[in-house]
C-alpha cells in the first residue's frame, strides 16, 4: 500500500506530465531537458513505489511510469504509437486517482 509520502510523490509525478509538449510522433523540441530529466527520475521512483502492484491504481501508475519512459525517448527517436498508449494510461490513472 502507498504511504502518505509516496502518495505525494505520485501526485507530483501525475502533475509533472502536463509539462511535456508532444505531437503525434512524440515529444517536441520545445521541451526543457531539465523537465525531462526530473520526470525520468520520478519515473524510477514511481516504479519502485509501485513494485508490489497491490491495487488497480498502483498497477495503472506503474504502467504510466513505464510508458512515460518510452515517451521520453521520443524526443530523440519518433515513436507514433507511444503517444496514444501514454495518453490512455494517463486517462486510466486519472480515473483511478482519488
Q: Please give the Cα distance from 14 to 39 (Å, whole number).
A: 10
Does residue 3 carry a pLDDT above 90?
A: no
> 10 is written with which cell numbers?
505520485
In angstroms, the CA 44 to CA 21 distance is: 21
Encode pLDDT of 20-60 as tens digits: 999 999 999 999 999 999 999 999 999 999 999 889 999 99
Global pTM value: 0.94
pLDDT of residue 46: 97
Give me the pLDDT at residue 2, please: 79
% of the chain residues with pLDDT over 90: 88
Taking all residues of the chain, what is their mean pLDDT, rounded to a whole number? 95
Reported as half-sphere exposure (CB side, CA atoms, 13 A), residue 29 has a value of 0
Amino acid at each position: 500500500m502507498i504511504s502518505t509520502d509516496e502518495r505525494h510523490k505520485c501526485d507530483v509525478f501525475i502533475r509533472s506530465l502536463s509539462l511535456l509538449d508532444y505531437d503525434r510522433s512524440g515529444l517536441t523540441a520545445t521541451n526543457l531537458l531539465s523537465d525531462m530529466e526530473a520526470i525520468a527520475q520520478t519515473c524510477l521512483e514511481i516504479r519502485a513505489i509501485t513494485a508490489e502492484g497491490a491495487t488497480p491504481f498502483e498497477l495503472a501508475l506503474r504502467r504510466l511510469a513505464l510508458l512515460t519512459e518510452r515517451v521520453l525517448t521520443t524526443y530523440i527517436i519518433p515513436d507514433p504509437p507511444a503517444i496514444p498508449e501514454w495518453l490512455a494510461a494517463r486517462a486510466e490513472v486519472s480515473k483511478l486517482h482519488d
